[in-house]
Structure 1
Amino acid sequence: MKNLLQQYKPFLLFLGKFLLTYLVLTIIYQSYLNRFDVSKNEVDSFTQLVANQTKSVLTLFDATAYNEQHPKEPSIKIIYKGQYISRIIEGCNALSVIVLFVSFVIAFTGKWKQTLVFILLGSILIHILNIARIALLCMALYSFPQYEHILHGVIFPLIIYGVVFLLWVIWVNKFSLHATTTAKK
């Protein structure tokens, strides 16, 4: 048994760090969300920020684009070209994706300064791409509402998760301690 633990020690350390980081960040995020009363249709501040930033992007293409609080659920309605196109809920803010990204980067340890800078820049990139993704999705849904399922359920999630995957590959191959030990061989 001891031999097996020694043989799989790198994987077990990775898995332990990943799960611990993911658990801690998820608890912090859930504590943040619990400050908002869903029964009163309150939308968390970060989701509101995402909705406002999406609206700002959409106004570049339609000056009359705007957001409004949904009267019956905790979400923000997006009005584009005079039409209710979409709603932004807590799951649209990409914070859960950022939690996953951060957990993986921390699990594949690197130098602390590089790790923090990569997490910060990667999180900002994910956030910016998420805003662009939502804005493009709204424009696409305005023109092609019949393709909502494929646009919302396949293409646009593929974009955001694809970028996260590429960031992970870059991290593991260029900046993690794994990359530095592989480069020395």
Structure 2
Amino acid sequence: MLKDFKPVLNILLRFVIVYVVLLLAYQYYLNSFRYGGLDPFSRLITEQVKDVQNYLGYPTQLYDDVKGEQVYFYVRNFYPTRMVEGCNAISVMILFVAFVIAFYKGFKTFIFILAGLVLLYIMNLFRIVGLNIVMTDHKEYGKVFHDFIFPAVIYGTVVLLWLIWIKFFALKNENS
């Protein structure tokens, strides 16, 4: 009887192992920058958001709050938002990678993961830019965009990538 469930159990086990290992590695990474302000990956995104906003005509400066492990965006004479570690989408990327590896299909798995991570990174970058613009020009919609619209976009992209992976790569018959 257990033999019938072996493929499903293998997929679940792979997912859990990859997810836990990546989560622990990420936590180790974060702990190594504790008390030093925002971690370097989040800081990189913050700098890129600033550059995009400056290009789009939203003059932006950054103000560090090292103790609070955050960076404030200063746009058009006020602070619409702040960047914290949770805004960097790493947790979403970890979930994406664990799922794709759970349905491992050789070298193309890593190509798909790389392409998906680049897409998620770019989408997250523009998510933060979009939130800053909404909070600068239409603060009354800020909560809806922060809590519902932008998370739906980023998680929706992850689900769409998963569906593409399953339909066109993972479950595709190798002999066809």
TM bin, normalised by shorter chain, reads over 0.9
Q: 1:106 corresponds to which residue?
A: 101
Measured in 1, the distance between the counterparts of 2:139 and 2:22 equals 36
1:64 is displaced (CA, Å) by 2.5
**Equivalent residue runs for 1:106-125 within 5 Å:** 106-111=101-106, 113-125=107-119
Aligned with 2:83 (options 77, 84, 88) = 88
1:98 is displaced (CA, Å) by 0.6
Aligned with 1:31 (options 28, 32, 38) = 28
Amino acid at match of 2:14: K
Q: 1:43 to 1:155 in 2, by over 3 A?
A: same
Amino acid at match of 2:13: G
Measured in 1, the distance between the counterparts of 2:29 and 2:155 equals 24
Q: Do the aligned partners of 1:62 and 1:80 also contact (CA within 8 Å) in 2?
A: no
1:155 corresponds to 2:149: yes
Of 102-111 and 69-78, more deviation after overlay is shown by: 69-78
Amino acid at match of 1:94: A
Large movers: runs of 4+ above 4 Å = none
Of 23-32 and 59-68, more deviation after overlay is shown by: 59-68
**Equivalent residue runs for 1:1-185 within 5 Å:** 3=1, 5-37=2-34, 40=35, 42-62=37-57, 64-70=59-65, 72-111=67-106, 113-176=107-170, 178-180=171-173, 184=176
1:71 is displaced (CA, Å) by 5.6
1:12 is displaced (CA, Å) by 1.1
Q: Do the aligned partners of 1:18 and 1:107 also contact (CA within 8 Å) in 2?
A: yes
Q: 1:115 to 1:71 in 2, by over 3 A?
A: closer
Residue aligned with 1:42, SS: coil
Q: How many residues matched?
A: 176
Q: Do the aligned partners of 1:76 and 1:89 also contact (CA within 8 Å) in 2?
A: yes
Q: Do the aligned partners of 1:68 and 1:77 also contact (CA within 8 Å) in 2?
A: yes
Measured in 1, the distance between the counterparts of 2:51 and 2:58 equals 9
Measured in 1, the distance between the counterparts of 2:8 and 2:27 equals 28
Measured in 1, the distance between the counterparts of 2:38 and 2:66 equals 11
Q: 1:33 to 1:71 in 2, by over 3 A?
A: closer
1:85 is displaced (CA, Å) by 0.7
1:146 is displaced (CA, Å) by 1.8
Q: Which runs of 5+ in 2 are unaligned?
A: none
1:72 is displaced (CA, Å) by 4.9
